Structure 1
């Protein structure tokens, strides 16, 4: 017989760590147990002591007893000394089970571990730092950069979750119930973020092998030929491939794209932009200038173009490469 679980965190205003922690538990725990379990938000010690899993309250860290608080003296820290929040503690204990549930068999244990690790480094750790009053973004000493960092910080998951709290002057009648309802709503948002981020990482891992195989088959090592659109820039960077352009179908299947490789991940620049004379042209004018009959468009900033066929897109990539290969010192391989 499946045992019901009493899940307890503190009441009142909430922060991202306990909200994300609840989202993690909702994915990690067996569905049949979760269906008959109860979430209680309280600081009542008698309720806390009888709970099965307690996080962000209670003053105890003891995974064997289902206790995951981080406010007490001697609270656990990461290997580098960075503090945990309840999200980080629950991620360490239940995160791999949550990833397995989200992936639903799409990837072995190696993929689960890689997803868990990347989520821990890029998401959960930042939630931990924010909850402990440590800004993940440093002070740059430049007014403009610091302002941009504060804006980015304000759009981060902790900020987005915490604005769902009731305002201080909300009606006091049934406030506790309203706060509990807001908490559940926030957990749905955090859970959707968790699901989406795990899926993105899984997809990027899957794309890496496809990109490497496609590059090995491509006629020119500078032109990556893909049969479908996917994240290709990251894998090409990671593998240090000599790719300058990628050719792939758009999601609608009505055109083939020519994408430029940036010099580094996340950059809006290009290692080798498309020809200047193509910039901003479309259809017949672009076909005339480029010499590719089914050319469709070239972005004004020359980082992407399209043709109606794979052959047309490949021709555009080869023309762009041929126009600048020798001056750029790339040479033929």
Structure 2
């Protein structure tokens, strides 16, 4: 969309939801002007103008009027209304309406089904947590959340409130969101190639002609596959090595471990332990190894399966 729009949101302290909502609108419309104000006379004058979008201000949620607030007494609804779970804030409201346009702006080759899946995924793993935090829901996380990351750009109590960091945070939100979209879109676009890849050694080894995001498809759909073999390539297509990686189950447990005698070895030490002259390395956790040639990687995979079979038979 090439229409120039104006995005109205509140001034002073910003939050992840308004920064992310503004970023989504910029991805969808490209040409935007952001006006940060709480001046009611300005907001009243701009309300219902065809190029005006209200984010986190206005006291109304009405996508037809381009108003995306959630602070009104009635709120703006829940993703799970029966349990009143995962409330909407401005990021989720804008994403629900314009997320598809934002995804298409990143990757125009996607079809409608793929776009819809990516929109749902991004809402589930990125947007809904931002909304929840803004609505006062306390979430546990292993480290700083996106909400805390964005909020860290606000001045502390002893600092002056200028310069305004909102443009920087809006840029950061757009970069992060674009990366999330690209990463998941890569999985979506790779699925059929993974499903059609060659399987050998009784179906226990899948061989890929390029390094694709294969682990989820194999974990969900190919219970017999225990190892994947694929090349590691430079941008110009030169193959640096072939890797052997152990597949994981849906609960992330390994389907086997490479031989204990290979753990942490590289070069000639690994070549001697594995019997493969082109062997490069084996990770100490025994989930990943590499060889200089495809045949060498196949040999490592075959040897690993044999050792595992002997271990189970013992």
Give the TM-score of the pair, scaled to structure 1. Answer: 0.85
Q: Residue 155 of structure 2 aligns with which residue?
A: 166
How far the C-alpha of 1:165 sits from its partner, in A, is: 0.9
Q: Residue 70 of structure 1 aligns with which residue?
A: 70
Contact conserved, 1:207 with 1:235, CA < 8 A, in 2?
no
Matches within 5 A, 1:50-89: 50-51=45-46, 52-80=52-80, 81=84, 82-89=86-93
Separation of aligned partners in 1, 2:222 and 2:280:
30
Q: Residue 241 of structure 1 aligns with which residue?
A: 223
Q: Residue 188 of structure 1 aligns with which residue?
A: 171
Contact conserved, 2:79 with 2:88, CA < 8 A, in 1?
no
Deviations 1:209-249 (A, max 9, x none): 1111114x545311110111122111111214321111111
- Which ranges in structure 1 are unaligned for 5 or more consecutive residues? 138-148
Separation of aligned partners in 2, 1:169 and 1:4:
38
Over 3 Å counting, the alpha-carbon distance change for 1:285 and 1:327 in structure 2 is: closer
Q: Residue 284 of structure 1 aligns with which residue?
A: 268
How far the C-alpha of 1:325 sits from its partner, in A, is: 2.1
Separation of aligned partners in 1, 2:138 and 2:312:
42
Over 3 Å counting, the alpha-carbon distance change for 1:91 and 1:324 in structure 2 is: same
Matches within 5 A, 1:81-230: 81=84, 82-103=86-107, 105-137=108-140, 149=141, 151-152=142-143, 154=144, 156-171=145-160, 175=161, 178-179=163-164, 182-215=165-198, 217-230=199-212
Over 3 Å counting, the alpha-carbon distance change for 1:79 and 1:157 in structure 2 is: closer
How far the C-alpha of 1:79 sits from its partner, in A, is: 4.2
Deviates more, 1:286-295 or 1:300-309: 286-295
Separation of aligned partners in 2, 1:7 and 1:27:
13
- Bigger proportion of residues as helix: 1
Separation of aligned partners in 2, 1:198 and 1:9:
25
How far the C-alpha of 1:4 sits from its partner, in A, is: 4.3
SS of equivalent residue, structure 1 residue 167: coil
Runs of 4+ in 1 over 4 A off after TM superposition: none
How far the C-alpha of 1:327 sits from its partner, in A, is: 4.5
Separation of aligned partners in 2, 1:75 and 1:134:
14
SS of equivalent residue, structure 1 residue 306: strand
Contact conserved, 2:69 with 2:76, CA < 8 A, in 1?
no
How far the C-alpha of 1:280 sits from its partner, in A, is: 1.6
How far the C-alpha of 1:26 sits from its partner, in A, is: 0.2
Separation of aligned partners in 2, 1:276 and 1:3:
61
Q: Residue 8 of structure 1 aligns with which residue?
A: 8
Separation of aligned partners in 1, 2:270 and 2:66:
64
Contact conserved, 1:84 with 1:128, CA < 8 A, in 2?
yes
